[in-house]
Amino acid sequence: MLKEEGKFKYLEEGEGSPVIMLHGLMGGVDNFGEMVDIVAKKHKVYAPDLQLFETPLLKCTIKHLSKYIHEFMTIKGIKRAILVGNSLGGHVSLVFSKMYPEMVDGVVLMGSSGLYENSMGASFPRRGDYDYIKVKTEEVFYDPKTATKELVDKVFAIANKRESAIRLLAFAKSAIRHNMSKDLPNFKTPFCMVWGRNDKVTPPEVGEAFKEALPNSELHWIDKCGHSPMWEHPETTSNIVIDWAERNISK
């Protein structure tokens, strides 16, 4: 059940130090599913809807989404939090951490953009081609069956709605402009990368590049896992995040 407060829609569950989960370009808060419930046993979990399709076209940028999260945290009275970002959500976490380092306890990246955006652009769905979109949606997961007809239909509907497609393309272009390779060595925040060994969107070498560039970071692999570890392996992913937070984030 999404809560609503002003312009914000979000999940909120649990008690403890705050964790904010940020979904990707073609995703939503439901992508975190079971992970919200598991992590909420140790933390206060928030999962805001980034409302990508409602964003004014001129504000379809990573920087705008970072300001959006800043506003969300301010309204909710969250002074500091761990950010958990998948795909585009990881990229937002990176830019937010650069803009507001005093508000970030740590960052978890899962299949994050920010270094290699060609894979992101290449995976952007073509309008009107259902089979193409079905294949691209299946490629997100290790097990193609995870891409149910309901999910493929949802992606197809987004790709074929002109207003939505234009916004998603604008966000994808913004991600290309906001390459973080020069910024990563300057981050002092603890980072945790959770990567699927079978990720075809941001392949394993992307996770390795993040690990090499970020001074205070860990890289955890999940076997038989694609671009969305929290979706395909929620328990394993959650346990990695909880353990990392206990070891690296001061209470």
φ/ψ of residue 170, rounded to 5: -65, -40
As given in the structure block, the two tokens for residue 119 are 């894979």
- What's the CA gap between 199 and 231, in Å, rounded? 13
3-state secondary structure at position 200: coil
Mean pLDDT across 103-119: 86
φ/ψ of residue 188, rounded to 5: -100, -15
The predicted pLDDT at position 182 comes to 94
In the chain, the N- to C-terminal Cα span, in Å, equals 29
Give 99's pLDDT tier (boundaries 50, 70, 90).
very high
The answer to whether residue 133 scores a pLDDT higher than 90 is: no
- What's the CA gap between 244 and 51, in Å, rounded? 29
As given in the structure block, the two tokens for residue 113 are 């953009």
The answer to whether residue 67 scores a pLDDT higher than 80 is: yes
Residue 31 burial class via C-beta count within 10 angstroms: exposed 0-12, middle 13-18, buried 19 and up? buried
Smallest CA-to-CA distance from 73 within 48, 37, 40, 107 is with 48
As given in the structure block, the two tokens for residue 232 are 């395909």
Give 251's pLDDT tier (boundaries 50, 70, 90).
low
Q: Considering the chain, what percentage of its residues have pLDDT values greater than 90?
A: 78
The predicted pLDDT at position 122 comes to 47
- What's the CA gap between 24 and 223, in Å, rounded? 21
The answer to whether residue 180 scores a pLDDT higher than 50 is: yes
The answer to whether residue 117 scores a pLDDT higher than 60 is: no
- What's the CA gap between 166 and 71, in Å, rounded? 25
Give 78's pLDDT tier (boundaries 50, 70, 90).
very high
Residue 242 burial class via C-beta count within 10 angstroms: exposed 0-12, middle 13-18, buried 19 and up? middle
CATH 3.40.50.20 fits 3-119+176-248, yes or no: no
Give Cα 204 distance to the centre of its chain. 16
φ/ψ of residue 60, rounded to 5: -80, 70
Give 172's pLDDT tier (boundaries 50, 70, 90).
confident
What is the residue extent of each domain of the chain? 3-119+176-248
- What's the CA gap between 185 and 113, in Å, rounded? 16
Smallest CA-to-CA distance from 81 within 12, 24, 176 is with 12
Question: What is the per-residue pLDDT across 21-32, written as a single tens digit (0 to 9) for each?
Answer: 999 988 889 999
Mean pLDDT across 127-148: 88
- What's the CA gap between 88 and 23, in Å, rounded? 7
**Looking at per-residue confidence, does 131 or 38 come out higher?**
38
Question: What is the per-residue pLDDT across 190-231, written as a single tens digit (0 to 9) for each?
Answer: 999 999 999 999 999 999 999 999 999 999 999 999 999 999
Count the Cβ atoms, other than its own, within 10 Å of residue 80: 14
